Chain A
Amino acid sequence: MTITNDLEVEESRSVSPSDRQTLASGAGFTVLLYFGCFFGAVTLSAALVQATGGSATEVFGALLDGSVRARGRWGQTLGISVPLILVGLGTVFSGRAGLINIGQEGQLYFGSAVACYAALRLGDSAGWTEVFPGPLVLIFCLVAGALGGAFWAGIAGALRYWRRVPEVLTTLLLVTVAAQVVGYGLRKDWLLAVPRDGSKAAWRNISTAQLPPDQRMPRIEVFGNSFPISVVIVLAITAVVTVVLTRSVWGFRLRMLGLNSRTAHRAGVAESRYGMVAIFISGGFAGLAGAMMLTGGDFGNYHLTPGFSVNIGFDGLLVALVARQMPIVVVPTALVFAGLRTGSGFLAATGVEREITKIVQAMLVLALLIPPAILFVRDRRRAMTATKSRT
C-alpha cells in the first residue's frame, strides 16, 4: 500500500534554492512564530513542574548544571550527542525518500549487538588483535554495527516495497522483536554472554564482557572534560551528509522521490531501489550510532547490557523531527536533547521526576510543528491568489 507522506510540508522548509524565496518574505514573522512556539512549550513544561509541587527555576538550574555547568558535564553531553546526531541524520535520509522510519531504537540496539559480537568474538577468536592493529578491529566493529542496523531496517523496507506493508508499523513492531533477539543473544554463551560458572545470574547483572582497551574509542581530554573522538568523526559525517543531501544529484533524486514518486519514476528514480537504499542508510546510521555508543564508553562502560539503547533511538528520531529534516540543524538540536538527558541526571536533588525531560521533548516537537503548518498554508494561499484566473 502506498501512504503519501506529507513530508512535503517539511520539505518546503528545508534549506535549498527553493526556499530562499519564501524565507526572504516575512522572515521576521517566521522567527517570531518559532520563538513564540518554543517558549510556549517551555512555559507549559514549567507550569507542569510548578503544579506538581516542584520549582521551575530549580529544575532549570539543575538541568543547566547537569548538562554544561558542572565539572566534566559538557564533555558528557558531547558524548551523548554522538548517537543522537547519527540517528537524526539517518532519519533525514529516510524522511527525504518519503519513508516513515520510527524503528531507530530497534535498529540501533540490534546494530550495537552485532558490533559487540564482532568486537568480542571475531576479534578474539580469530586472533585478529595480534595480526591487525587495534584501530582496524575498531573500525570493523563500527562497520558491523552499521550493517546490523541497515539489515534490521531493510526488513521493514522489503516488506514495504514488496508487500505494501506500511513501514510506520513494521519499523516499530521490529523494535520489540529486536529487544527480544538481543536479549536472547545476551543469554547465550555462543553469542554474547560472558561465560559463567554455573550459577544463574539475575537479569540485571547480565552483560557482555568489557571491550578490551584497544577496541575502545580514544578519548579527548579538554579542561577536565572527556569525550570520545567519535564526536569529531560525527561532525565530519554531518558535513558530508549535508553536501550529499543538498548539493548532489543523488540527494536531489531522493528528494524528488519523497515529494512526488510518480514524477520521480518517470525521471528514472525507481522507487524501490532508491527507497531501499534510503532505509538501509537510515538503519545503518542507527546501527553505527549503537556501535559508537558501545565503543565510546559513555553508555554502559563498554559493556552491552539489556536495554542498552536507553531510548536514544527514539530521541534521535525526535531530533530529526524537531530539526525539520535539515541536516545542519540536527547538530544543535541533538546537543539540546543531549543536554536534557545529561541534565536530567541532576534532577534527583530537586525532587522532580526525570520524565519531565520526555515531556519537554514531546512538547517541543508539537510546538515546533505549528509554525511550518501556518506558514505553509499562508504561502500556498498567497500563491493561489496570484495565479487564480490567469492561465
Chain B
Amino acid sequence: MGSFFTAMGDVLSNEVTFAGAVRFAALLAFCACGETIAERAGTLNISVEGMILGGAFAGACGYHVTGSVSIGLVCASASGFLIALIHANLSHRLAANTFVVGLALNILVLGMSAFLANYVKPSTRAAHKFGIPVLDDIPLVGQAFFYQPWPLYLIYPLIPFSWWLLYRTRWGLEIRAVGENPQSADVSGIDVNKRRRQGVYLSGLTSGLGGGYLILGQIGRFDDAMVGGQGFIAIAAVIFGGWTFRGAIAGCLLFGAVNSFRLSLPALGHEANPEFLSALPFLVTILTMMLFAHRTRQPTALAQPFIRGLK
C-alpha cells in the first residue's frame, strides 16, 4: 500500500504528467466545444470519432502537400465540416436515424483514411513547442499549459468564443431554444432543422480542428487507430458537464489527466497491470457517468427528430 502512495506522489509531482494531461485534454476540449453546442441544439452526434480521424488525415495531407502546419489545420477543420455536412443533412433534412448515420460515418472515415493513407502516404511531423514567457514558469502547471506545441494554444480562445456564441448571441439563443422545445421555436419563426444542422457543422469544424491538433500538435504521425475512442470520451465529457462549457472542460481535464496518469505510472518505473492501465480511461469515464449522469438535466429535445406538424 505504501508503494501505492509513493507512486501517486511521484506521478502527481511530475511536470510531465501535467503536460500530458493538458495535451490529452486539449483534444477532448476541441471536440467538446462544438459538441456541447450540437447537443444543446438537440443532436447527439456520435460521429465525433470520425470527425477527429478525418481531420487528422486531412491535416496530414495538408501538411504533406504544403509543409505548413496552419494550412494543415485549416484542411483538418474543413474535413470535419465535410463529414458534418453529410451527417447533418441526412439527420436533419432527411430525418434518418442520427445514431445509424453517425456510426456509419465513423466506419466510413476509418475505412477511407486507412485506404487513402496507403495511397497517399503522408509524411508529417509534430509542430514545435513554443513557450509563453512568464506564464510557463509557474511551478508544476506552467509548463503544462504554456509550453506546448502551438496548435494547442488554439483551444484557449476557442473555449470563451464558444461560450460567447452560445450565451451572448441571438444564434446561440435559438440553438438553445431548438434543443429544449423545438415546437415552440418553430412557431416563433425559427427554422429548427437549420439550426440543428448548424450545430452539427460547428461540431464538425471544432472536432476536425481537434484532429488536426492531434496529428500536427501531438502525435506527429498518421495511424488509423490514433483516435482510439477519444471521440466518445469527449461526448461523455459533455454529458458529465451537464451540457455546460464549464462542466465539459472539467470533464476533459479529468479524462485527460487519467490518460496521462496511466502513461506516467510505468514511465516513472512503477509496476502496474498493463491491461488495467489501458482500460483505465474508459473505466473512469464509465464510472463518472454512473455517478453524475442521472443528476444532470439534459436538453429536453435531445435526440428527438423534429418534423413540423408531427409531434
Contacts and interface: CB of A to CB of B under 8 A. Distances in A.
Interface of A: 1, 3-7, 9-10, 48, 52-53, 100, 102, 159, 163-166, 168-170, 172-174, 176-177, 180-181, 183-184, 187, 314, 317-318, 321, 353, 355-359, 361-363, 365-366, 369-370, 372-374, 376-377, 380, 384
Interface string B281-306: 01101100111011010100011110
Contacts of B275: 180-181, 183-184, 187
Interface string B39-55: 00000101000000000
Given A172-B232, A180-B279, 9 more contacts: A1-B302, A4-B304, A165-B286, A173-B229, A362-B107, A363-B108, A366-B108, A373-B95, A374-B94
A164 B294 contact: yes
CB-based closest 8 A-B pairs: A358-B111, A362-B108, A180-B279, A359-B111, A365-B104, A180-B275, A355-B115, A184-B275
Contacts of B228: 176
Given A6-B97, A180-B276, A180-B279, A384 B304 contact: no
A318 B304 CA distance: 22
B41 to A, nearest CB: 15
Interface of B: 44, 46, 86, 90, 94-101, 103-105, 107-108, 110-112, 114-116, 118-119, 228-229, 232-233, 235-236, 239, 273, 275-276, 278-279, 282-283, 285-286, 289-291, 293-294, 296, 298, 302-305, 307, 309-310
Nearest to A186: B275
A361 B290 CA distance: 34
B97 A7 contact: yes
B105 A173 contact: no
A380 B296 CA distance: 34
Contacts of B286: 159, 165, 170, 173-174, 177
A356 B116 CA distance: 10
Contacts of B305: 6
Contacts of B291: 163
A7 B303 CA distance: 11
Most chain A CB neighbours (cut-off 10 Å) among B119, B273, B296? B119
Contacts, number: 167
A244 B115 CA distance: 41
B307 A165 contact: no
Nearest to B94: A373
A276 to B, nearest CB: 16
B140 to A, nearest CB: 30
Contact of A6 (B98, B114, B236, B294): B98
Contact of A369 (B90, B293, B304): B90
B93 to A, nearest CB: 9
A91 to B, nearest CB: 11
B283 A177 contact: yes
Given A174-B286, A181-B279, A365 B100 contact: yes
Contacts of B235: 169
